[in-house]
Structure 1
Amino acid sequence: MEGEHNTEFQQWLAAQGDDTRAKLDALPTLKSWQQALQKVSAATVVYRNQRHVGGRLFFIRQAAQGNGTLMVRELDGSERVLLDPATLKGDSGHASITVFKPSPDGSKVAVNIDHGGNEITRVEVLDVKSGKPTGDAVEPVWGEFPVQWLPDGSGFTYTQLAPPEQRTGGDPLQDMRSRFHPLGKLSTQDPILLRAGTGQGANPSFAIPANHFPVIEFSTDSRWVLGEALSAQAEQRYCVALRSDAVKPDATWHCIADDNDEVQEAAIHGDTLYLVSSRGRSNGELLALDLSRPNASIKDARSILPLQDDEIVVGVSLNDTQMVAPARDALYVKVSKNGIDDIRRIDYASGKVETVPMPLSGAASLFHADDNEDGFLLELRSWTTPPKSWRYEPTTRALHSLNQDEASPADYSMIEATEAELISKDGTHVPFTILHRKDAALDGSHRAIVFGYGSYGLSIVPSFKPARLEWVKQGNIFAYAHVRGGGEKGEAWHQDGKGPNKHKGVEDFVAGVARLSELGYSRPERTALISGSAGGLLIGGAVTGYPDHFGAAVFLVSILNPVRLMQAPNGANQIGEMGDPRKASDFPWILAMDPYQQIHPHTAYPAVMLDVGLNDSRVAPWETGKFTARLRAADISGRPVWIRTDANGGHGIQKSLGAEAAEYADIFAFLDAKLPGR
């Protein structure tokens, strides 16, 4: 089944999807779930990726069926469309915007457009005033990498995929290069500034492994430029160069932080490099390094933010949520405690630390500052209330609404979140969030879902998900197990569920099923597990290791065969998190965490549905195919093992609200049919 151009497998997978579609359509509760979830998706409008630049607010507006429209709000409050991907010719409505980046003065914006659902994008520059393309465009660029503008807006750097013939093992995510594009020039002439791997463009002063991603970031108010070698692991490598040299292919880079320094984020203001590291403190500390010192080293960095023992400043930072955010007026830092976020303001000149008063208790789904603007943008959300967003203005020391607060598409006042703990197999206490109706009887009668992830140090934080709340509204339970491998308790929590410790996260996940039973919410036979992507190792480990501990499992675009990591696109990128199967030291525990390899013959497995996007470039669909075929051959229970396919879908990063509603309608109808009710 392996390989990227395996016609026989692709035909088999498509046939599997057709067969599952017919079975799902015959389920008795599917239509009612479709109606309920389509209704809430149709009433939902999501605002994301807000950026305030040059007096303008740029943002993505996403309604029920669209993949998101790029909008701009002018200083007078008027709003207009800059780019609706649904209007692009030849895309049949499947194009989407993955990220965008306004120029420092807000006059232009570079937009990453995914035309194929595979996250491989073309970056086009738009003139903001006219809304028309300037003619500047670069490709192919992985969808999560926005361009990095020069401070004067005359050009930008971008991280480009290597030509197919130069990719190690044919993997599109290896051997990337950072290039410089001056506006108005042909992109084919753009010089290579940094290159992952070896060959033309590699810089001996900043050697980058082939499975890392080179990124060059500019700071408006600094003579220094930040070079980054990023990968799918918490710790990253950071180097600096003078701005005057950085746009030259032969620039001399001075490397400050390597993987063993455990730096998870970095930023520059003036001559100061800010670093967030977990090396000296598991929950992280904020360091400042004076780059004007000769031969500046991370050993010279000093801690500048006092923290309480349970306050956390580390964790995987997504595109909209920085940990350390230099604004023009001050440095802002996100600090988490028990899943709730605060923002600290550090004055550049005095070093004085202040806590910005929060308008409500919640988790930040947006925290972003630009170094040529004062203040920051913030969005907070909870489990049962929609997100609200603000702009902080330091002159008034106040948060002002962006007037983009999401309205709840339905009444969920009957639902509450209970913060509890589960006790894992080794006695570890694990945070456990349970969403339930306030009037839920504790008699074990409810169907339940336990959701987990447990990879990369990524925390599951409060989020408002109407599709999931509809499940709870109907009298069911939706619980989140904050398993080891995530970042809920700092970097130590991540390490405790990573690599050779992956089994601990699996044990945490399965213990969530027992905990719901102990508390009276459900029973194991009425409980399903859901996870996906790197969480495939979590749910795959649960299915193969504890098949009789729960009633069903739903896999979402899952990694299921890490022993074959190097044969999959994006596989080499995962080595930092999952280990290297080519190494004798790593192979035993990779084998132990490999769900495909741990399927046992003549075993009764629970009901299983596996969701896969046929255009997925992050996780190869053949991992789902192999796992499914082997599980069916080994199973003696007679329960279903179905593959649900999305012909136009990828990894689901930019899934439309309508597509999400359709997916969860299928999931809920499947669980209604396969889990016993009251």
Structure 2
Amino acid sequence: MVGKASKDTPQGFLTHTKDIVMLCTSRSRHRRLASCVVAAVCSLTLGILPAIAAQTDDPPTARTVDVVDHIFGTTLHDPYRWMEGEHNAEFQQWLVAQGDHTRAKLDALPTLKAWQQTLQKVSNTAVVHRAQRYVDGRLFFIRETAEGNGVLMVREADGSERELLDPATLKDDGGHASITFFTPSPDGSKVAVNIDHGGNEVTRLEVLDVKSGKPTGDAVEPVWGEFGAEWLPDGSGFDYTQMAPPDQRTGGDPLQDMRLRLHRLGTPATQDTILLRAGNGEGANSSFAITANRFPVIEFPTDSRWALGEALGAQAEQRFCVTAQSDAVKPGATWRCIADLSDEVQNAAIHGDTLYLVSSHGRSNGELLALDLSRPNASIKDARSILPLQGDDMIVGVSINDTQMVAPARDALYVKVSRNGIDGIRRIDYATGKVETVPMPLMGAASLFHADDNQDGFLLELRGWTTPPKSWRYDPASRAMHSLGQDEASPADYSMIEATETELVSKDGTHVPLTILHRKDVALDGSHRAILFAYGGYGMSIVPSFRPNRLEWVKHGNIFAYAHVRGGGEKGEAWHQAGRGANKHKGVEDFVAGVARLSELGYSKPERTALISGSAGGLLIGNAVVGYPDRFGAAVFLVSMLNPVRLMQAPNGANQLGEMGDPRNAADFPWILATDPYQQIRPHTAYPAVMLSVGLNDSRVATWETGKFAARLRTADTSGRPVWIRTDAHGGHGIQVSLGAEAAEFADIFAFLDAQLPVPREDRNGVAKN
């Protein structure tokens, strides 16, 4: 949850999280946050085993020392405060013991091995290409298979491909290194790569020579994994957003007080000058003051004399300033700030003397503004709307996938316009302002949309709920899409599955979109196990995505559904605001109403339905569990935020204030407390079965939030159903998880739900069908 979307990021949160934080976690420029059937015996086993209602023994207990706080007239009891802290050996030992207990329980589940075989089979045959960048005839991309975390590749103009960097070959990291980001230089002769050696997204940024594949010797660190190099137009160097030394971080938070440095190739990193910084101290600039909890970035477009400065944070709105590139490379430059948070600008880009801004200030679904920077004292009030939009056309909101919203290419400006989850591209001629609609090769959601200002056209990848990704490069000269030859093949036959788009009606009468994945031959008799996913934060939209692991769940006779709850961006910024702040409870109500809707339509029953969410969506699922414990059968939490009244005590907490509110403010505290799942646990209550998954190297959401919530829930629960914590010793926030690791986690999840969600004993027709 560092930037706006997930990088998912890039893969953001939902790839397990890979298509939720990034999570909600990405930088605004690029991201506005996988056999037909198993053997018959396996199919039957996965479909009809009766539920296991309760644990047979208890996990390790947690001691209690009740800490009492008095905040704005409210008394809060916090019996597990001792779990907090970054280097807390006692808590870490307790957490590891929890993971060992859960592992033993999961390994004993009767359907686990069948799910492992099924999901590993589809993962082992999958080859994923992502993060493509086209520069001067070369295509750079990440190739990912089940065995690894992604290899950086390059395809030359003659079609030959070669490996530039396989992180698995790096020494002294136990084979767990991963590439979080890469940026080719403007001429494609070099590439700057962010390498995460510890699974915590803290990276070393290294430059490779593309011709030889060897390091140039230029390297800087520590750099947060989603902040790549921003190359100078002549390729002589780059700027980068560096994490502050530990003794200079406000409250010890590793994501505060970052500074923006300039590195010239061939010079020692110790000589890198500070151009901007968050907070106070060396590099702070009075003309572009940046609070400690935001992230400074400077872009240097190759086709402009202007530099674009950005103060980014984990919220939809961002701050943008400009200055001449010749000044931006010098400390103490004078910046002209064009857009502040109150202007509700979510994206910006420069071509020539024109600054393009995407704002929701005058239109909830967004409008594209253009501002002539050559005009003296030009301000956002002088900007004009340049893209006609109608009805549900939308250019705001943060999609979970790795896409730009506004993409300046050399030949024209390209803009992604969405309607009802389907993406299209508009081309705006720089000279004439003429707007054209680029013909789409198929209907789908863009999981890649990228253009560079020194290249013509753009790269595009489209996918659907049951359709594997297909990718192209658009050539404006021929007005044609050319395949990249990297279309993802389906690892299995999913032709028996379809997506039904419908609505649920929430508590206050609001109609909320609901996507249901099911077999075409599904019997609407309520007999099926169902998973309902939602996120509802940062204005991030859940868009169609091809996930073989989830499709296998459906293929075996179950349901996987997505509730597009308020707090997301599916219906523009107004939809985001409707589930944000004091309105957070409305997203929870939407989520719970989705369970009832699945029952009403005959897909499942509440006792057979499980909720899944995580990261910032932990507030959504956590409040569903504590507020509506009898409305569904189980809940699975993924790397979840669960204790927001302690936001400022958590690493990465200050970064979340724009979206989550500030618990130190009297106006915000009441609704933050009301949506704090840990504080809202009620004693002597029957809670559903719960499994909470954490990565022990997570730097975005503190693992103690999961520990505190699980410990308190156990003491309050009267149902006797499991409250398990699944740990991943090498995992972080789920962003750079490998295909094999994702398959292993979902095998655990599906086996857990098989055991906790009761279904009729008789065999159901369709479970083992092709």
Same fold (TM over 0.5): yes
Secondary structure of the residue aligned to 1:497 is coil
Please, which of 176, 179, 192 is the counterpart of residue 94 of structure 1?
Answer: 176
Shift of 1:319: 7.5
- The residue correspondences of 1:636-647 to structure 2 (distance < 5 A) are 636-647=718-729
- Which residue of the partner structure matches residue 55 of structure 1? 137
Please report the TM-score for the alignment, with normalisation by the length of structure 1: 1.00
Please, which of 378, 382, 385 is the counterpart of residue 296 of structure 1?
Answer: 378
Please, which of 482, 487, 490 is the counterpart of residue 564 of structure 2?
Answer: 482
- For the pair 1:127 / 2:209, whether they are aligned, the reply is yes
- Which residue of the partner structure matches residue 7 of structure 1? 89
- Which residue of the partner structure matches residue 241 of structure 1? 323
Please, which of 222, 235, 252 is the counterpart of residue 170 of structure 1?
Answer: 252
Distance 2:529 2:275 in 1: 55
- The residue correspondences of 1:619-634 to structure 2 (distance < 5 A) are 619-634=701-716
Distance 2:535 2:290 in 1: 29
Contact 2:421–2:445 under 8 Å retained in 1:
yes
Distance 1:103 1:606 in 2: 52
Secondary structure of the residue aligned to 1:205 is helix
Please, which of 347, 352, 361 is the counterpart of residue 443 of structure 2?
Answer: 361
- Which residue of the partner structure matches residue 329 of structure 1? 411
Shift of 1:318: 6.2
Please, which of 436, 449, 452 is the counterpart of residue 518 of structure 2?
Answer: 436
1:57-78 Cα shifts (integer Å, max 9, x gaps): 0000000120000000000000
Distance 2:712 2:111 in 1: 30
Distance 2:548 2:644 in 1: 33
Distance 1:288 1:438 in 2: 47
Secondary structure of the residue aligned to 1:227 is strand
Contact 2:532–2:612 under 8 Å retained in 1:
yes
Contact 2:448–2:461 under 8 Å retained in 1:
yes
The residue type paired with residue 398 of structure 2 is V
Distance 2:759 2:154 in 1: 49
The residue type paired with residue 56 of structure 1 is R
1:382-413 Cα shifts (integer Å, max 9, x gaps): 00010000000000001100000000000000
The residue type paired with residue 687 of structure 2 is Y
- Which residue of the partner structure matches residue 308 of structure 1? 390
- Which residue of the partner structure matches residue 649 of structure 2? 567
The residue type paired with residue 220 of structure 2 is V
- The residue correspondences of 1:185-334 to structure 2 (distance < 5 A) are 185-316=267-398, 320-334=402-416
Contact 1:233–1:574 under 8 Å retained in 2:
yes
Contact 2:164–2:210 under 8 Å retained in 1:
yes
Please, which of 552, 555, 558 is the counterpart of residue 473 of structure 1?
Answer: 555
Contact 1:317–1:323 under 8 Å retained in 2:
no
Please, which of 606, 627, 631 is the counterpart of residue 545 of structure 1?
Answer: 627
Secondary structure of the residue aligned to 2:403 is coil
Distance 1:308 1:252 in 2: 39
- The residue correspondences of 1:383-462 to structure 2 (distance < 5 A) are 383-462=465-544
Secondary structure of the residue aligned to 2:286 is coil
Secondary structure of the residue aligned to 2:468 is coil
Distance 2:715 2:338 in 1: 52
- The residue correspondences of 1:557-596 to structure 2 (distance < 5 A) are 557-596=639-678
Distance 2:372 2:94 in 1: 59
The residue type paired with residue 677 of structure 2 is P
- Which residue of the partner structure matches residue 700 of structure 2? 618
Distance 2:247 2:298 in 1: 24
Distance 2:171 2:708 in 1: 37
Distance 2:734 2:186 in 1: 30
- Which residue of the partner structure matches residue 198 of structure 2? 116
Percent sequence identity over aligned pairs: 84
1:411-443 Cα shifts (integer Å, max 9, x gaps): 000000000000000000000000000000000
1:208-238 Cα shifts (integer Å, max 9, x gaps): 0100000000100100000000000000000
Distance 2:680 2:525 in 1: 35
Distance 1:265 1:15 in 2: 45
Distance 2:739 2:471 in 1: 20
The residue type paired with residue 644 of structure 1 is R
Contact 2:400–2:541 under 8 Å retained in 1:
no
Distance 1:634 1:189 in 2: 56
Contact 2:499–2:518 under 8 Å retained in 1:
yes
Shift of 1:320: 2.7
Shift of 1:54: 1.5
The residue type paired with residue 232 of structure 1 is A
Shift of 1:317: 5.6
Secondary structure of the residue aligned to 2:288 is coil
- Which residue of the partner structure matches residue 608 of structure 1? 690
- For the pair 1:661 / 2:740, whether they are aligned, the reply is no
RMSD of Structure 2 on Structure 1 (CA): 0.6
Contact 2:399–2:541 under 8 Å retained in 1:
no
Change beyond 3 A, Cα 1:464–1:319: closer
Contact 2:399–2:542 under 8 Å retained in 1:
no
- For the pair 1:372 / 2:431, whether they are aligned, the reply is no
Distance 1:490 1:296 in 2: 28
Please, which of 516, 527, 531 is the counterpart of residue 613 of structure 2?
Answer: 531
Q: How many residues align?
A: 678
Shift of 1:309: 1.6
Distance 1:318 1:368 in 2: 15
Distance 1:411 1:559 in 2: 36
- Which residue of the partner structure matches residue 66 of structure 1? 148
Distance 2:721 2:281 in 1: 52
Shift of 1:92: 1.5
Contact 1:218–1:226 under 8 Å retained in 2:
yes
Contact 2:400–2:540 under 8 Å retained in 1:
no
1:307-338 Cα shifts (integer Å, max 9, x gaps): 01210000126683000000000000000000
Distance 2:391 2:370 in 1: 20
Shift of 1:479: 0.1
The residue type paired with residue 150 of structure 1 is L
Contact 2:416–2:426 under 8 Å retained in 1:
yes
Distance 1:307 1:468 in 2: 35
The residue type paired with residue 601 of structure 1 is P
Contact 2:151–2:165 under 8 Å retained in 1:
yes
Distance 1:564 1:166 in 2: 21
Distance 1:217 1:372 in 2: 14
Distance 1:433 1:153 in 2: 46
Which runs of structure 1 show a deviation greater than 2 angstroms over 4 or more consecutive aligned residues? 317-320
Distance 2:85 2:189 in 1: 44
1:158-184 Cα shifts (integer Å, max 9, x gaps): 000001111000000000011000001
Contact 2:401–2:447 under 8 Å retained in 1:
no
- For the pair 1:597 / 2:679, whether they are aligned, the reply is yes
- Which residue of the partner structure matches residue 27 of structure 1? 109
- The residue correspondences of 1:502-521 to structure 2 (distance < 5 A) are 502-521=584-603
Distance 2:692 2:441 in 1: 41
5+ residue gaps, structure 1: none
Contact 2:400–2:543 under 8 Å retained in 1:
no
- Which residue of the partner structure matches residue 145 of structure 1? 227
Contact 1:125–1:136 under 8 Å retained in 2:
yes
The structure showing larger relative contact order (alpha-carbon pairs under 8 Å, at least 6 residues apart) is 2
1:645-669 Cα shifts (integer Å, max 9, x gaps): 0000000101100000000000000
5+ residue gaps, structure 2: 1-82, 761-770
